[in-house]
Amino acid sequence: MTVQKPTENDQSSISNHNKNRIKSLLLYCASFVTLTTIYYYFSTFFGLNSDRASILLEAKDILNGNVFLDGWYLSTVPFYFTETLPLAFLSLLFGPKSFLLHLMPALYYSLVVLLSFNLMRKKNKSCTPFIGLMLIPSPFFASLSMTACIHMGAILFSLIIINSYEKDNSLAKKIFLSFIGGLTVYSDNLAVYFLIIPIFTAVIILFIKDNNASVLNHAMIPVGAVFFSKLIHFLFNEIDSFVVSGTIPPRFATIDSLFFNVKIMMESILELLGANFLGGSIDEITTKLSLLIFIIVISLFFISIKEMKKGQSFKFVDYILLHSSIVLPVAFLISNMPADLGSARYLLPSAISFIIFIGRNSKIEKKYPLLLIGVAVFCLINVWGIKKTKIHEISYPVSEYLKEKNLGNGFANYWRASSISTIIDDGDTVIVPVNVSTIDGKIYAYKWLSNSKWFALQSRYIILNSDEQLHALTRKFGDDAYIKKINDTYIVIYKDKRLSITG
C-alpha cells in the first residue's frame, strides 16, 4: 500500500487555512479588547448599588479563606460559579478593587457579543446589522447587561454551550459541557429557561417531526447539566456554606395580572430597544430619537421575516435559539414574576437569543448597505443616550463624608450599605445592612447579601433615608446625635458606640 504525499497545492491550502485561522483569532482578540474598553467606560455611567457591590465583598471573603461563604445570606440565586468565583479570580489578579465591578461585566458582555456574532456568522455572512443591535444597545439594555450580578454570567456560559452544538462533540467534551451547564444552572436558575428547556423542547419537536432517534443525543448535555446541578446542590447543603433566600414558588397569573404582565412586557421591549416614544412630547429630541429607533428596528424586523420566508433551513442551534426566545416571555406573561419595569431583566436573555436567531437566518445582501446605515444610526443614538443617562449615586458623597470624618465601621439601610463600603476603600470598611423599626426604633439585621459576622458590630453612626426611621431611632437611642443630611440621606452620629443590632 502506497501513501500519497501531500501535493504542493495541498500544502499551500493547509498553510492558507492556518493563516486565516490566526488572522481570525487575532481579530477576535483585538475586538475583545476594544469592546471591553468601551463597555467598561459605559459601565461607569450606571454607578454602584448594594446589589452590585456586595459581590465584591463576597469575593474578598473567599480570598480571605471563606471559600464557601459560610455565614453569608445571599439573594434568590447564589451566582456562585457564574459571577462570584470569577470575580474572586479577578480579585486575586488585581486585588479586590471596586473598579472590578465595572471590569467584570464589561468582560462578560464583550464575550456575549463575540459568541453571538460567532453563532451568526457561521450561517450568515451578512449578519453585521443584526449584531449591531447588541453592539451598542439602548441605555436600558446597557444598564442590565453591563452591571454586575444581573444574569450575564448565566447567559455567557449558556452561549458557550449553544456554540458547541455547531459541531459534533466527543463524549468527553459532552460530559465537560454538562458539568459547565450544571455549575451554571446551580448558580442561576435563569439558565433553565434560557438553555435547558429550549434544548429539551428542540429535541422533542425534532424527534416527533423527523422520527429520527439520533436527535436524542443532543439531550445529553442538558440531562447532564441537571444531574450535576442537583449533585452540586446536595454537596453545598452538606457543608457549611451560604444561605440562599430563594423565592416564593411562582403562581399562574390572574386575569388582572395577565393584562398587567402584557403592559409591562410591551414597555420592557420598547425600553430594551430604546424605542419607547409612547407618552413622550413630540417636541422633545429624546422622543424623536426613540421614534427613529422604533422605525429602524421595525424595518429590520420585517425585512428579516421576509427573508426567512424564502426557505431558510433551520439547524438544531436555530431551534434552540427560537425556543429560547419564546420560553421566558411565555413564563413572564403567565406567572406572577413581573413586578415593574426592572423585571425586564428576565426578558433580556430572550432578546439576545432572538437577535442571534434572526441574524443567522436573514440573508439580506440586497438591502445590506441600507440596513447597515440604519443600525449605525441606532448605535450612535444609543451612545448619546448612555452618556446622557449618567447616574450619580448618593452613595458617593456619603462615602466622601464618612472618609473625611474617619467614622469607621457603621450601619446603613441596605441600598446604601455595601455600595458605600466599596466606594470608601474597596470594602475594608464594614457598613452593615440593617433595618430600623419605625415602631420601637430597634436596629435589626438585614439578612440579604450580608455576612452574619458583621452583626456583632457596635457603632456610633447609622445611615438612613427615611424620616420615620430617623424619628424612631432617636427616640430609642437618644436625641443627642449630630445629624448630617445629604440629599435624602441622613447620617446619624453619636459621640459613643451605642448603636447595635437587636437579637
- Smallest CA-to-CA distance from 80 within 157, 230, 189, 188 is with 188
Instruction: Examine the pLDDT at 20 and tell me if it is beyond 60.
Output: yes
Say if residues 265 and 338 touch (Cβ distance below 8 Å).
Answer: yes
Element (H, E) at 458: strand 458-459
* Distance, CA of 218 to CA of 316 (rounded, Å): 9
Among the ranges given (6-15, 71-80, 415-424), the one the predictor scored with the smallest mean pLDDT: 6-15
Task: Give mean pLDDT, residues 132-155.
Answer: 92
Residues contacting residue 291 through CB under 8 Å, at least 6 positions apart: 275, 277
Q: Which residue has the higher pLDDT, 58 or 52?
A: 58
Residue type, 310: K
pLDDT band at 4 (very low <50, low <70, confident <90, very high): low
DSSP 3-state helix, strand, coil percentages of the chain (rounded to 5)?
65, 10, 30
3-class DSSP state of 16: helix
* Distance, CA of 207 to CA of 282 (rounded, Å): 52
CA-based angle 236:241:246, to the nearest 5?
Answer: 75
Beta bridge partners of 485: 490
430-468 tens-digit pLDDT: 999 999 999 999 999 999 999 999 999 999 999 999 999
152-164 tens-digit pLDDT: 999 999 999 999 9
Percentage of the residues of the chain whose pLDDT score is greater than 70: 95
Beta bridge partners of 461: 493
236-245 tens-digit pLDDT: 999 988 999 8
Instruction: Examine the pLDDT at 365 and tell me if it is beyond 80.
Output: no
pLDDT band at 1 (very low <50, low <70, confident <90, very high): very low
Task: Give mean pLDDT, residues 177-187.
Answer: 97
* Distance, CA of 432 to CA of 454 (rounded, Å): 6
Take residue 191 and report the three cell numbers written for it. 439558565
